[in-house]
Amino acid sequence: MKNIYSQTAVLLMSLLAGLPALAVESGQTAPEFDLTGRMGNVKLSDYKGKTIYLDFWASWCGPCKQSFPWMNEMHARYGGKGLRVVAVNVDQKPDDARAFLKETPAAFDVAFDQTGKTPRSYAVKGMPTSILIGPDGKVLLVHSGFRDENRVELERQIKLALNIKDH
C-alpha cells in the first residue's frame, strides 16, 4: 500500500515540477475554483468578504494528519470572526480521501480535485500547501508544509488578516 502512495507522490510531484516557481504571490488575486465538496459545490467566490485559509492536502501526506486538528481548532476559534477554512484534496481516488477523513475528521469545508487543476493554478509543489486569502480575494500568505513550530506564526498571520489584536 505504501508503494502506491509513493508512486502517487512521485507522479504528483513530477506533474507539479514543470510549474513556475510561484504562480500566486502575496498581493495577487487568488485564482477562482469550483469543486465538488462533501456538502455540494465549493467555490472560492462563495467566500467573498471572508478571510480564507485554503489548504491543499492528500491522504498520503504525513504532515496533513498534524495540520487537520490545528485547522479544526482555527476554524472553531476564528470562524465566528470571519475565517473560513477550506481544504482541497488532490487524491486521484476519492475513497483515499474519505478514509483519511474518517481517521482525521474535518469540521471545515472539504473539496475534491482529482484532476489537479486547482493545485496547478496555485502552483502547489508539496503537501500540504496553505494560502491565506484576505476578504478582498488577495493572497496574503503562501506556506508550504506543516510542523508544530509553524502553528504560532500561522495563527498570528490569521489574526492579522482578521484584524484581531492580542490583549
Structural domain boundaries in the chain: 2-161
Instruction: Report helix, strand or coil for 142.
Output: strand
pLDDT band at 3 (very low <50, low <70, confident <90, very high): low
Name the nearest CA neighbour of 89 among 54, 40, 121, 123.
Answer: 54
Residue of higher predicted confidence among 29 and 2: 29
Residue 20, pLDDT > 70, answer no
Cβ-Cβ contacts under 8 Å for 136 (sequence gap 6 or more): none
Q: What is the pLDDT of residues 50-95, one digit of tens each?
A: 999 999 999 999 999 999 999 999 999 999 999 999 999 999 998 9
Measure the CA–CA gap between 135 and 141, rounded to whole angstroms.
13
Cell 488577495 sits on residue? 138
| pLDDT, tens only, 107-146 | 999 999 999 999 999 999 999 999 999 999 999 999 999 9
Per-residue confidence (pLDDT) for residue 72, from 0 to 100: 98
Q: How many other C-beta atoms are found inside a 10 Å radius of the C-beta of residue 88?
A: 25
Partners of residue 54 on adjacent β-strands: 86, 131
Could you tell me if 118 and 33 are in contact, meaning their C-beta atoms sit under 8 angstroms apart? Answer: yes
Whether the predicted pLDDT of 44 surpasses 60: yes
Beta bridge partners, 146, equal none
2-161 fold: Glutaredoxin (3.40.30)
Amino acid of residue 81: K
Please compute, for residue 153, the number of CA atoms within 13 A of its CA located in the half-sphere on the CB side: 9
